[in-house]
Structure 1
Amino acid sequence: MGRIRTYEWEDPAISAAVAGRVPGMDFLRDIQAGRLPGPPITATLDIALDEVEPGRVVFSLAPGEEHYNPIGSVHGGVYATLLDSAAGCAVHSTLPEGMAYTSLDLTVKFLRRITVDTGRVRAIGTVVHRGRQTALAEAKLVDATDRLLAHATSSCMLFPVPPS
């Protein structure tokens, strides 16, 4: 017998229309509080936005079989999604109204395997440097005992939001 998982998400255009038009902290806190819909990827993977402060963001995930690769552990793409989200949103948290960002790259180092037995994991993103046109962020993926599971760095391009 197969396994079934269903989930729902809200219209991503709602949040996209607000992104960059309000300060990054306000935008992320509105998503965290449910005043704006979260991105569909958070529903797809069942990711939670746990903490938001200037230059620092924490996402978490309880690993499940639905996250597995064919060899019985969490797929590297799930690691990368968590780390990319944490690093990018850490940068977003520093942006003023009228500014946006996009990831230029993501470098991930996988250090330990994750399974359902690992328990809830956290991706902690922090800004290392933010300039006028680029930002550098890092993210660490840790287990409940803060054991390092993976690490990533991300360069982001910063740009003004085009007028609507």
Structure 2
Amino acid sequence: MKRSRTVEWEDASATAKAAGTMAGLDFLREIVAGRLAPAPLGSLMGFALEEVEDGRAVFGFEPAEEHYNPIGSVHGGVYATLLDSAAGCAVHSTLPRGMAYTSLDLSTRFLRPITADTGKVRAIGTVMSRGRRTALAEAGLYDSSDRLLGHATSTCMLFPTD
């Protein structure tokens, strides 16, 4: 039986323009509040930024069949995307106006399988260290019982947007 999914998203250019005019925490809070559109990738994959504070970001995700690999569990690339997003946004939340970041690396560990039966999961990113040019963050992926499903560390390069 064929299945399908329709994905809708808002124009990402307005959000991208706003990113350069605001401190990172203010920018991410505008996304959480719905005053700025989230990244189209979240609509495609079905996850959203739900909480943000200085040095911390939390994404929510409902796993479903469209996230499966051929053996019937959520694909590792979905884990990695959630963990990268949480770690990266945690770093972004610490940046002043006029600064941006990009991920330099992502080291992941997949600890437990995720299926549609797992229910909602959270990716929680925190900044471990931030300097002038790089930041180190970690992220954990948790089920509703707070069991760790996956973990990642990420190094991000910081740079001026001018």
Give the TM-score normalised by the residue count of structure 1: 0.97
> 1:21-45 CA deviation, whole Å, 9 max, x = no partner?
2100110011111111110000001
User: What's 1:15 paired with?
Assistant: 15
Letter in 2 for 1:123: A
Output the CA distance in 1 between the equivalents of 2:15 and 2:132.
Answer: 24
Structure 1 moving runs of 4+ over 3 Å: none
**Aligned-pair CA distance for 1:20:** 3.1
Q: Does the 8 Å contact 1:7/1:43 carry over to 2?
A: yes
1:17 deviation in Å? Answer: 1.0
- Cα distance between partner residues in 2 of 1:48 and 1:95: 20
Partner AA of 1:117 in structure 2: D
Q: For 1:20 and 1:152, how far apart are their aligned partners in 2?
A: 27
**TM-score normalised over the length of structure 2:** 0.98
Secondary structure at the residue paired with 1:95? coil
Whether contact under 8 Å (2:83, 2:123) holds in the other structure is yes
Give the aligned length: 162
Identical-pair percentage: 69
Q: CA RMSD in A?
A: 0.7
Q: Name the structure 2 match of 1:83.
A: 83
Q: Is the 8 Å Cα contact of residues 100 and 160 (structure 2) preserved in structure 1?
A: yes
- In the alignment, does 2:14 pair up with 1:4? no
Could you tell me which residue of structure 1 aligns to residue 73 of structure 2? Answer: 73
Counterpart check, 1:64 vs 2:55: no
